[in-house]
Amino acid sequence: MPYYPVNLKIDKRLCVVVGGGVVALRKAKGLLQAEARIRVISPTVEAELRILADQKKIEWLQRGYVEGDLNGAFLVFAATNDSDVQLRIKKEAIRSAVILNSADDPGGSDFHVPAHFRRGKMLITISTGGGSPALAKKIREQLEEEIGPEYEAVVDLLSLVRERLLGGGGEEETARYSELFSRLLSKGVIDLLLEANWFELQMLLLRELPEDIDAVALVRQFLEKHDKSR
């Protein structure tokens, strides 16, 4: 079955996790990274989920699932070990137009969570369409070594350049500057940043960016931001 690749914006949206075990914990932690509003429903939960509830990072309903628990939800993870409960969650999700991921029924789920990792704003995902999660995990681990944590700074710098260039412009402006971004990448902007070669990075930006953009101030702003984040 072919899947459509998409990144979902779920910040402040209600996302429900039914279940309190290891799988539920993993799903809740992933939702936290996306700044969702999380409700966990289970009579008992893993210790880490209990801590998150005590810290008010998630809402924990300390009981079993009942019909109506998906009211107002955007998505639901059905992660119990009870096939009857799993089926009831699926039926309510269909009735309520809530997108579903069912731990025991990948084929009956509306979406899958691919193997993934983050580098700041950059989210890298690997999916085999459910064909081989082990292979997806192996490729993710290889890419995590190749694309290290320092790439968070790369994304931040290029985002700053993009903001200066586009200024909220539409598709025409994006197309206009696509060649410029390609030149920056081909001329080593990533290597210069990873090497912390600020002088050569600044010179590259001075050569390539339009004259109305202050490359010196841009690099200074970038460095100030990252000094504060350390």
Question: Mapped to the 3 state alphabet, what secondary structure does 143-179 carry?
Answer: HHHHCCCCHHHHHHHHHHHHHHHHCCCCHHHHHHHHH
What is the value of pTM for the model shown? 0.81
pLDDT tens profile 87-102: 999 999 999 999 999 9
Mark whether 1 and 109 lie in a shared domain. Answer: yes
Report whether 40 contacts 61 (CB < 8 A): yes
| Domain range enclosing 139 | 114-146
One domain, residues 52 and 101:
yes
Pairwise pLDDT comparison (129 vs 160), residue with the higher score = 160
- In three-state secondary structure terms, 95 is helix
Distance in Å from the first CA to the final CA of the chain: 44
Going by C-alpha positions, the residue among 44, 54, 114 that lies closest to residue 80 is 44
Contacts of residue 147, defined as CB under 8 A and 6 or more positions apart, other chains included, come to 119, 124
Q: How many domains does the chain have?
A: 3
DSSP 226: H
Is the same domain home to 89 and 179?
A: no
State both tokens at 163. 């903001």
Vertex 9 angle, CA 4 and 15, to 5°:
100
Q: Could you tell me if 179 and 220 lie in one domain?
A: yes
Same domain, residue pair 119 and 109 = no
Do 158 and 209 reside in the same domain of the chain? yes
Rounded-to-integer distance, Cα 165 and Cα 181, Å: 10
Neighbours of 131 (CB within 10 A): 8
DSSP E strands, the chain: 14-18, 37-41, 59-61, 75-78, 99-102, 115-119, 122-126
Summarised one tens digit per residue, pLDDT across range 116-154 is 999 989 999 999 887 888 999 999 999 999 999 999 999
User: Rounded to whole angstroms, how far apart are CA atoms 2 and 151?
Assistant: 31
Q: Are residues 104 and 204 in the same domain?
A: no
pLDDT digits (tens, 9 = 90+) for 20-70: 999 999 999 999 999 999 999 999 999 999 999 999 999 999 999 999 999
